[in-house]
Structure 1
């Protein structure tokens, strides 16, 4: 898969580390050997996986002559934070449309990403009710800006379209080279699965590189059949966008919905345990919405002997730790 023919901004200059987690593995009785790919260390204000996607999305925006970026997400969206941060770096306006998926959850004075939106100088924030048509809401904002003479470019939620998914096709290629250089082999890879771009791009890249490593997505919002179809559909669209003719086996797409809990972004006891366990064994911070729930899934699967004893597992850390500071009560109550 030749990604060199697609414009990108070069936000990702170096491979993110592969780090073995000996103390964390021991805390799970050394049933498996757990490694982590530190995409939380990607550049951008606070880091996280969206930088890989935005590397391509912002380049596409600039190629189209845009001077303004519009994107959307939940009220504590890591994607919105990183889109805003790269827009600032490029000298572009950035307007956010936030979906209040939990009624009453948007608080302008909140910490976490809400604070960072203000610190980074967001151009505007619009808050809409949960369940709104976010594409239509962003288009409404874009039309208003066009009337003002701006040239807006819409980045979908999570940058999860074929342009953004290229970032995780590249990540799979990066991982293949790291494994070769470091003499590593993984039996299974676990990824958070939300807006689908990370899961879809990464799995497509692995298949395109003929790497026969199963990938399990831990869903954070939708039911299993819906999430798996979203990932599969985006994989097909991304392959078509790249001009790559390849067979994409539907059975390669696996996403569990067992760890969502009461709903998207709502804390679970298992998430709190996962965040605390990794912090207290390896000094690595997860986030409460994506990587924390995904890690709670990994922990549960290990405890249930889902993986063969001694297997080498890789967890893709998508970042998002700034959101922890909006969930202080969840962790203080559990201390």
Structure 2
């Protein structure tokens, strides 16, 4: 598995830090807690989609695209970063936004919507929750083609085998950092949403015969559905990269207890988790992804899933710009 053979754009420079969260560790009284700061990746506001876009945009450019077309929820971090990459590469960018919560899109709202406007999209299409997003993007793509454009469709979250390769690369980066720091991690906790991050991380670790358990905390789907989605993408990514080691489905472990009433809908535990990390470590999380994932992690610590003396690494996938559209929760 030689990732250097793949086309790649560079939007970040150097590995993101792994920090020891001393204050949070002492506050919770459980395992030693470390955090991988992928919120500090490049492009506008950083986050995990930056790693995926390095491979996806390179593929788009190799295929002669002049337009990036992608989709997400109305406060989509992925859409923000795809638009940012498009501006950097001087490509057009069109977004298809899904109102997963009815009437939740407001053009002049804060958070990522503000950044869509600031970065300057070339078009936004808003569709109802539950729409077939690939079909909706293809409608926009067909219109663009009729105008002489060459659109490149990026799936939601950048989560196909090309995008997931960004987190295969991240797994390699992590292993080198852990070796350099003589840090023996017992478990990795990752957000599990559109599946690309979770799947790529698993392929990267298992392809290198690294058995560190990976726990995914779902932000949208039930355990059975999410584990199935992650494993399908693991298989596609492993095939894409010609990984010889078979990866067993037992490598996929998802907790679905922290989704709450639905995707992007607030929970008390999420609010507590965001306040706790901000006030103890000065690190911002977001309400849709990392806030709920940290809430799940905190609950696993409190209920004794992790024992004192263990070392656990939390993957911070970014998203904090969305926080500014949820300020009423913290007032």
Q: Is the 8 A contact 1:12 1:55 kept in 2?
A: no
Deviation readout 1:200-239 (Å, 9 max, x if unpaired) = 0001101011111000000000110000000000000001
Give RMSD over aligned pairs.
0.6
| Deviation string, structure 1 residues 141-168 (Cα, Å, up to 9, x no partner) | 0000000000000000000000000000
In the alignment, the residues of structure 2 paired with residue 253 and residue 13 of structure 1 have an alpha-carbon distance, to the nearest angstrom, of: 30
Aligned residue number for residue 112 of structure 2: 113
Is contact 1:32–1:311 with CA below 8 Å preserved after alignment?
yes
Query: Displacement of 1:253 after TM fit?
Result: 0.1
Q: Which residue of 2 aligns with 1:100?
A: 99
Identify the residue that residue 9 of structure 2 maps to in structure 1. 9
Residues 93-121 of structure 1: CA distance to partner in whole angstroms, max 9, x if unpaired? 00000000000111111100000000001
Alignment of 1:215 with 2:219, yes or no, is no
- Asked whether 1:68 is paired with 2:67, we answer yes
Stretches of 4+ aligned residues off by more than 6 angstroms: none
Q: Offset of 1:5 from its aligned partner? A: 1.0
After TM superposition, list the pairs within 5 Å mapping 1:111-150 onto structure 2: 111-150=110-149
Q: Distance in 1 between the 2:281 and 2:152 partners?
A: 40
CA contact (8 A) 2:193 2:219 kept: yes
In structure 1, the partner of 2:84 is 85
Which stretch of the first structure deviates more once superposed, 83-92 or 237-246? 237-246
| Distance in 2 between residues matched to 1:212 and 1:153, nearest whole Å | 36
Summarize deviations over 1:79-102 as a string: whole Å, max 9, x none.
000000010000000000000000
TM-score by length of 1: 0.98
Instruction: Classify the secondary structure of the residue corresponding to 1:71.
Output: strand
Q: Which residue of 1 aligns with 2:27?
A: 27
* Partner Cα distance (1:281, 1:219) in 2: 24
- The structural deviation recorded for 1:12 is 3.0
CA contact (8 A) 1:158 1:195 kept: yes
Distance in 2, Cα, partners of 1:240 & 1:136: 26
Alpha-carbon deviation of 1:11? 1.7
Deviation at 1:314, TM superposition (A): 0.2
CA offset at residue 308 of structure 1?
2.2
Q: Is the 8 A contact 1:97 1:138 kept in 2?
A: yes
CA shift for structure 1 position 243: 1.7
| TM-score normalized with structure 2 length | 0.99
Quote how far apart the aligned CAs of 1:10 are. Answer: 1.6
Farther off after superposition, 264-273 or 240-249 = 240-249
CA deviation string 1:277-323 (max 9, x = no partner): 00000000001100110000000000000012211000000000000
Measured against aligned partners, the alpha-carbon deviations of 1:233-272 in whole angstroms (never above 9, x if no partner) come to 0000001111222211111101111000000000100000
Contact 2:206 2:245 in 1 (8 A): no
Number of equivalences:
331
1:306 aligns with 2:305: yes
1:73 to partner: Cα distance: 0.2
Q: Give the secondary structure class of the aligned counterpart of 1:136.
A: helix
Distance in 2 between the 1:245 and 1:312 partners?
30
- Give the match's secondary structure for 1:96: strand
Q: Give SS of 1:298's match.
A: helix
